Amino acid sequence: MTGTDKALEEMTADELRSELDGLRTLWSWVPEDVQRHISTIGKLCRVHTRGKESYLGAIQGLSIEIRTIEVATEEEWTDWSKGKKYLETKLIIFPISSLSFFEVIEDREEIEEEEKIDSVDRLLETADIED
């Protein structure tokens, strides 16, 4: 997906194709039950409340609750009984209720060792640390 804000009429055939491919990929990630609910937006519905009131109208939107987050990770693990090390690729499923903090890392670059030391030295120089 190009992520442009261009109007469809202004997009080239390649940009339109890229946008469509991206949207199809994104849609394929949406669980089937959520796809079904999304497809009802704009449709006529009747709602009955517990207070025995009835409403007729069109579905305008949904609110989906995230219950879990799935994190793909790699971890080194040692099987001491065999004396071998393994690199395991895992999918860990965390219930939202178990999280206290969550970060999405947009970019990551390796820092050379000299740069690490230099940045720590700079922090120490600017800190008010008394001996």
Helix intervals (H) in the chain? 13-29, 32-38, 113-126
What domain range includes position 55? 31-126
State the residue for tokens 């640390």. 129
Q: What is the domain count for the chain? A: 1
4 located within any domain: no
Domain contains 64: yes
pLDDT digits (tens), the chain, 131 positions: 556 678 888 889 999 999 999 999 999 999 898 899 899 999 999 989 999 899 999 999 888 888 999 999 999 999 999 999 999 999 999 999 998 988 888 888 888 776 666 666 666 776 666 65
- Domain contains 48: yes
Residues in the chain: 131
pLDDT of residue 102: 83
Instruction: Name the pTM for this structure.
Output: 0.46
Give the number of other Cβ atoms within 10 Å of residue 86's Cβ: 10
